[in-house]
Structure 1
Amino acid sequence: MIIILFIVLLSGCASNTLVKVEDIDIQMPKIWQTSIPSSEKVTGKWWKIFNDDD
């Protein structure tokens, strides 16, 4: 009985409409680039930068 109630409740959240990527008005770049930050500051005893005694 609980399972049936759970299924009925979840079916109310279901959507029958499909969203196509073309319908969204956002322009994405053809090439995605991001810089990789330097890791020099976090090598070694990185936990010391938090100044936590624990």
Structure 2
Amino acid sequence: MNQTDWGWFNYGFIFVIILLVVLVLFSYIYFNPRKKGKPPNIDKKAGDEGED
């Protein structure tokens, strides 16, 4: 009885954690470039590499 309850709880816990992590990651990746608003960062790196 206890084992089954624990297994269900474990499943739900893992699902919630995965959902939360994915949501946080997606939010961070989606809002990071918008907040910075500095795409030239990648351009600068590419230019530096080409110059070298």
Q: Tell me which structure has the larger Cα radius of gyration.
A: 1
TM-score when normalising by structure 1 = 0.31
> TM-score w.r.t. structure 2 length?
0.32
Relative to its length, the structure with more helix (as a share) is: 2
